Amino acid sequence: MSDAGSRHCSHLEEEVLALIGSNGIMQSELARLLGISSSKCSRIVCRLERKGLVKRSRTTFRGRRTYLIRMSLSQRRPIDSYLAELYVFFLVSSSRGTGDRRCSS
């Protein structure tokens, strides 16, 4: 199987990736938000982990053992780069906008 084929994601896997975000999410919370069983959520996360898209680390949340799910480093870099570009664009736009006030009369 090619690398591109191994990284293909189902609709539900794409939803999981969207919910993880930049800070990560508890696996138990992920299952609750998706409205699926914890075992189904675990299988989805395992598939994403095998594809190299997410990383899991054991933790305790509200007195129960669970996993913290985060984007893998290879997935975070493009997002971080994109956010940095947006920030620079915002700064440049803001500095240009201060002298360019237009009146509507």
Query: What is the tally of helices (H) and strands (E) in the chain?
Result: 5, 3
Rg of the Cα atoms in the chain = 19
Predicted TM-score (pTM) of this structure? 0.60
Per-residue pLDDT tens over the stretch 11-70? 888 888 888 877 889 999 999 999 999 999 999 999 999 988 899 999 887 888 889 999
Flag whether 70 is in a domain. yes
Flag whether 103 is in a domain. no
Rama region for 91: left / alpha / beta (φ>0; ψ in -120 to 50; rest): alpha
pLDDT confidence of 97, banded at 50, 70, 90?
low
CA contacts within 13 A on the Cβ side of 65: 2
What is the domain count for the chain? 1
Q: What is the CATH number of the domain that holds 63?
A: 1.10.10.10
Flag whether 104 is in a domain. no
The C-alpha atoms of residue 29 and residue 99 are separated, in whole angstroms, by 47
Flag whether 100 is in a domain. no
pLDDT confidence of 82, banded at 50, 70, 90?
low
Flag whether 69 is in a domain. yes
